Amino acid sequence: MKNNETKHLNILSTAVIGCMIIAIILTAGTFSLGRTADHDTKEAVRNVSLLYLSELATRREQVVSQILDEYTNDIDIALGLLSSEDLSSTENLQAYQSRMKQLYGLEKFAFVDTQGTIYTSRGTRSDIDDYGIDYMNLTDTVVRIKNLKSSDKKVILAVPTDNLQFEGHTLVVCFMEIDMDNLLKDASLQSNNNTTFCNIYTPDGIALTDMVLGGLASEDNLLGAMEHADYEAGYDYEKLKEDFESGVSGVVSFSYNGISETLYYVPVHSTDWMLTYLIRESIIGEQINSISDSIIRRSLVQSVLTAGVLIVMFTLLFIQQRRASKATIDKEVMETENRVRQQELEEQLAMQEELASKSEELSKALEAAEDASRAKSSFVSNMSHEIRTPITAILGMNEMIRRETTDPGIIPYADNIDKAGASLLGIISDILDFSKIEAGRMELTDSEYSLPVMLSDLYNLIQFRAEAKGLELKIITDPTLPKGLLGDELRIKQIITNLLSNAVKYTEKGSICLEVKRLEADDEHSRIKLSVAVTDTGIGIRKEEMEKLFTPFDRLDLSRTRSIEGSGLGLSITRQLLGMMDSQLEVESEYNKGSVFRFDIWQGVTDPGSIGDFDPADITLGTEQKAHDRKYFTAPGRSLLVVDDMPMNLQVLKGLLKRTQMIIETASSGEECIRMFGSNDYDMVFLDYRMPGLDGIDTILQLKKLYPDKVSVTPIISLTASAIAGDRERLLNAGFNDYLSKPVNIPELESVMEKYLGSPPDVAVTDETEIPGDTAMTAIPDIPQCIRDIEALDIRKGLEYCGDAEDYLFALETYAGSVDEKAEQILRCLEDKNYEEFALLTHSLKSMSKSIGALRLSEQAAELEKLCKERALDQVLTGTPEFLKEYRDLGATINLCVPLEQQS
């Protein structure tokens, strides 16, 4: 492209230079032609002038000689008219002469006698010598000039007479005197165009008209003037002079006073005069010059115009050429493009063919993969069922043992079964969550939730684990955070729990911190962006291992983490859940220093009231709500059919539902269920989903077919271990009123029953103080007897605060495990007079004691904290030992009942 541009520029500059050369040639040619033409024209003009002059001179000479001839003729006629009478007297002769003068317009008409006396019309004269007439020897007509040197020149024309006799004298000559001006007037010598001048000169150069060289010469003699002239080649003065003297015609070109002239001369017949014609070439030359100048100018203009036209033509040609070459290039480019396109098309076609065959292979592979994926999903689903079902049964049966045994030796075993089972369930939940997310079947459900309650729950869940490892747990919240939020509380809690659990798991010493901040809100303040960060001072993550952090089942730094419980799925699930919520997990970590896991998330706002200064240690905030929620359901006399193929599950459910005071019947298959449903009226049915023979869906379809009326009024709830999202729709579509995931827990069971079993009087929801028909044991079923026997503990309060028996027992363990160390620290603070630390420790003991239901101890700790802050040090010193004694006693008693893991 650039080459083309240069090529075109080269052509254009060549064209312009060419045009300029042509213009120069034209201009120079015009100048030289002009000059040559000028010269040639002058030459031609001279030649023409010479012809013209010779013609003019000859003609004028003829005129002059004719005039002279006419005068000669006139004399002859006059002489012919002369009578003897005229000669008879002087008077008569003079009269005759006067008549002739008048007739011919003469100055004088006179006769000369042999004595030289002149007889005029007025008298006689004797100055015959002035007339130059050789009167005695005159044989022919002669022309003479009188007064040649003066301006009053006269032409004398004399003829011989036949010796006329007059009064005794012999008249030999007759002559007439003509005024020179008159004569020459008739000859029209004057020209008024200032270019040609006619004149008559005597042989020695005297001008008859008193004007030499057309008035140009300062001399009054032509030959005298011509002596000073510059002659052109071929002409000279001598020749001129000679010609004049010998009366020969000729021509001479010269320059006089810088003016170029050509003189043509011709002798006047019958005189010695020379008639000249002078042409002033300078003037003609000037005119020719101006003509040739204007010709040159015009030619120049013409040349410039020609050059201009040529340039325009070249430019147009160039543009045309350029367009043509551009069109050619475009065409070539198009052709090349077309070729390339065609080639591409051919390649595409080939590729498409290849693709078609590949896609066939791929679709087969895809089908196989889909089959495999379906198989995997169903495997996972089956596995979950297969594993969950026995675990549910194990946990249920274990629960029965824990409730019913009074043997303190059995309880720790049962507790350990419970813990291991719960951990196994956790792992299965993780695997299920993971495969649900992978299969795109994880669903998020938004609901209203309380942020302080959630934070409180998180604190309660983690605090004891942190405490157990001697880690400080800090919860930092923004006081402007709203109380009520809208979002998937379960999943958000799962995410934060995961991060907090990891922080505890992978931190040996120091602290972990949960920080929740408000980042921004939308215009209507209906949504808020939270920033959540979990920071720890733990083992950290090596830079090179960072990318493996989210790889499922991958655990890092195995030498240090092998002994720590974990599946390697938590972060992967966390990250994917956050992705589903349009958020992402960011990690910063320094090996051996600690890590920060952070994410930002948008949540709806349902209660904009701010949470204010939220104290994580003030756990009543979270549990208050729970305490209110903690209702117990009873429906004495109402009947319930529970269907499950596993007798153990039936037993567990029966056991768990005992306190509802309902009539509970069981069936171990779909067929049995149909039978029993037909022959009895139940208020509610719990129907297992997976059973050999008729499964849950087959069974309900049969029931609907056989007993449509009964089905329409009886709530039938599905129990399913399957956690796959699509199952839920299938169950509801099949006709189940609701479903519960296995392993079911009491609150869920009760809330479903409350929802479907209608209203009192027979159905009641009571708080813990009004539990009818059962012992305190039923109300606090999961706590070993020896714990229940500890007076210093208010077990119900402890359960309220901790949520359930498992967490409560864990809290007790942790509490008891740290007693000695804490007591030591408190004593050391007193010794060191470190009251700040003392206040912190008692503050922490206040909330910890309260959370396990050690209310008195909690109050004592609160009192000590208060006294310490007030600096009532005496009272602190006296009160502390008593407090520490009670504290240590409680720890020891708990340790007896709930041996710590490391001890067991």
| Least spacing, CB of residue 475 vs ligand ADP, in Å | 17
Report the residue number, 263 or 499, with the smaller CB distance to ligand ADP. Answer: 499
Q: Which of 549, 685, 691, 811 binds ligand ADP (CB under 6 A)?
A: 549
Q: Which stretch binds ligand ADP (CB under 6 A): 277-285, 307-315, 500-508, 518-526?
A: 500-508
Residue 521 main-chain phi, psi, to 5 deg: -130, 160
Nearest residue (CB) to ligand ADP, 19 versus 539:
539
- Is there binding between residue 429 and ligand ADP (CB under 6 A)? no
569 near ligand ADP, rule: CB under 6 A: yes
- With contacts defined by CB under 6 A, name the span among 378-386, 532-540, 796-804, 894-902 that binds ligand ADP: 532-540
Q: Which has the closest alpha carbon to 648: 660, 659, 656? A: 656
Nearer to ligand ADP, 574 or 699 (CB): 574
Residues with Cβ within 8 Å of residue 153, at least 6 apart in sequence: 145, 146, 147, 180, 208, 210
Q: Which is nearer to ligand ADP, 30 or 595 (CB)?
A: 595
Taking each helix axis from N to C terminus, what angle separates 570-580 and 489-505, rounded to the nearest 10 degrees?
150
Interacting residue with ligand ADP among 124, 282, 561, 785 (CB under 6 A): 561
Rounded to whole angstroms, what are the CA distances from 678 to 46, 364, 599, 675, 810?
Answer: 154, 49, 55, 5, 47
Give the separation between CA 252 and CA 242, rounded to whole angstroms.
Answer: 12
The DSSP output letter for 690 is -
Q: How far is the CB of 430 from ligand ADP (least distance, A)?
A: 8
Position 438 contacts ligand ADP (CB under 6 A): no
The answer to the question of residue 567 lying near ligand ADP (CB under 6 A) is yes
Residue 870 CB, nearest approach to ligand ADP (Å): 40
Residue type (1 letter), 781: P
The stretch near ligand ADP (CB under 6 A) out of 300-308, 551-559, 643-651, 662-670 is 551-559
Question: At its nearest, how many Å lie between ligand ADP and the CB of residue 476?
Answer: 17
Measured distance CA(517)–CA(535) in Å, rounded: 14
By the rule CB under 6 A, 131 interacts with ligand ADP: no
* Interface stretch with ligand ADP, choices 308-316, 360-368, 534-542, 866-874 (CB under 6 A): 534-542
> Of the ranges 14-22, 324-332, 563-571, 639-647, which one interacts with ligand ADP (CB under 6 A)?
563-571
Closer Cβ to ligand ADP, 243 or 467, answer by number: 467
Q: What SS3 string covers 465-487?
A: HHHHCCCEEEEEECCCCEEEEEE
541 binds ligand ADP (CB under 6 A): yes
The phi-psi region of residue 397 (left if phi > 0; otherwise alpha if psi is between -120 and 50; otherwise beta) is alpha
Do the strands 684-688 and 716-720 form a parallel or antiparallel pair, or are they unpaired? parallel
Q: Which of 72, 572, 699, 720 binds ligand ADP (CB under 6 A)?
A: 572
Q: Least distance from C-beta 422 to ligand ADP, angstroms?
A: 15
568 touches ligand ADP by CB under 6 A = yes
Q: Tell me the C-alpha distance between 793 and 854, whole Å.
A: 5
Q: Judged by CB, which is closer to ligand ADP: 364, or 509? A: 509
Least distance (Å) between residue 420 CB and ligand ADP: 16
Site of tokens 């591409």? 344
Alpha-carbon distance of 879 to 867, in angstroms, equals 10
**Alpha helices by DSSP H, 610-695:** 620-629, 647-656, 670-679
Q: How many residues bind ligand ADP, per CB under 6 A?
A: 21
Q: Which is nearer to ligand ADP, 557 or 624 (CB)?
A: 557
Residue 506 CB, nearest approach to ligand ADP (Å): 3
**Interface pick for ligand ADP out of 181, 204, 557, 600 (rule CB under 6 A):** 557
Between 374 and 593, CB nearer to ligand ADP? 593
Give the nearer residue to ligand ADP in terms of CB position, either 434 or 682: 434
DSSP secondary structure, 852-874, as one string? TT-HHHHHHHHHHHHHHHTT-HH
- For residue 262, CA distances in Å to 43, 54, 256, 258, 265 come to 12, 11, 10, 13, 10
Distance, CA of 388 to CA of 649 (rounded, Å): 11
Nearest alpha-carbon partner for 857 in 890, 826, 828: 890
Site membership for ligand ADP, residue 570 (CB under 6 A): yes
Give the position of tokens 């059919």: 641
Least Å distance, CB 455 to ligand ADP, is 19
Print the binding letters for residues 746-785 with ligand ADP: x by CB under 6 A, - otherwise.
Answer: ----------------------------------------
Of 161 and 572, the one with the shorter C-beta distance to ligand ADP is 572
User: For residues 291, 293, 298 and 302, what is the CA-based torsion angle, rounded to 10 degrees?
Assistant: 140
Q: Measured from the CB of residue 594, what is the shortest distance to ligand ADP in angstroms?
A: 7
Q: In the numeric block, which tokens belong to residue 276?
A: 């000249």
Residue 233 burial (CB count, 10 A) = 6
Q: How far is the CB of 831 from ligand ADP (least distance, A)?
A: 36
Stretch that binds ligand ADP, among 70-78, 191-199, 393-401, 531-539 (CB under 6 A): 531-539
Cβ-based nearer residue to ligand ADP, 560 or 885: 560
Find the shortest distance in angstroms from Cβ 711 to ligand ADP. Answer: 45
Specify the stretch interacting with ligand ADP by CB under 6 A; choose among 303-311, 444-452, 553-561, 698-706.
553-561
Is there binding between residue 867 and ligand ADP (CB under 6 A)?
no
Binding to ligand ADP by CB under 6 A, coded x per residue (else -) over 584-603, reads -----------x--------
Q: How far is CA 750 from CA 423, 682, 761, in A?
A: 25, 17, 17
Task: Tell the smallest beta-carbon distance from residue 346 to ligand ADP (Å).
Answer: 51
CA distance 453 to 797: 17
C-beta closer to ligand ADP: residue 326 or 593: 593
Q: Say if residues 400 and 887 touch (Cβ distance below 8 Å).
A: no
Q: What per-residue string of b and e applies to 90-99 under the rule 16 or more CB within 10 Å gives b?
A: eeebbebbee
Q: Which of 408, 566, 735, 747 binds ligand ADP (CB under 6 A)?
A: 566
Chain positions 505 to 524 lying near ligand ADP, rule: CB under 6 A, are 506
Beta carbon nearer to ligand ADP, 430 or 457: 430
Q: For residue 503, state whether it binds ligand ADP (rule: CB under 6 A).
A: yes
Closer residue to ligand ADP, CB minimum distance, 567 or 702: 567
**Sole binder of ligand ADP in the list 295, 307, 485, 539 (CB under 6 A):** 539
Residue of 8, 322, 518, 555 interacting with ligand ADP (CB under 6 A): 555
Judging by DSSP bridges, how do beta strands 527-536 and 482-487 pair with one another? unpaired
Cis peptide leading into residue 781 (ω within 30°): no
Task: Collect contacts of 84-89 with beta carbons under 8 A, ≥24 apart.
Answer: 87/164, 87/165, 87/166, 89/167
Q: Does 576 bind ligand ADP (CB under 6 A)?
A: no
Q: Does 577 bind ligand ADP (CB under 6 A)?
A: no
The one among 260, 271, 456, 502 contacting ligand ADP by CB under 6 A:
502
Region of 533-541, 728-736, 792-800, 869-877 interacting with ligand ADP (CB under 6 A): 533-541
Helices (H), 472-619: 489-505, 558-561, 570-580
Distances in Å between the alpha carbon of 61 and those of 92, 181, 199, 270, 274? 37, 16, 10, 11, 9
Judge whether 154 and 161 are in contact, CB under 8 Å: no
Interface residues with ligand ADP (CB under 6 A) are: 502-503, 506, 536, 538-541, 549, 555-557, 561, 566-572, 595
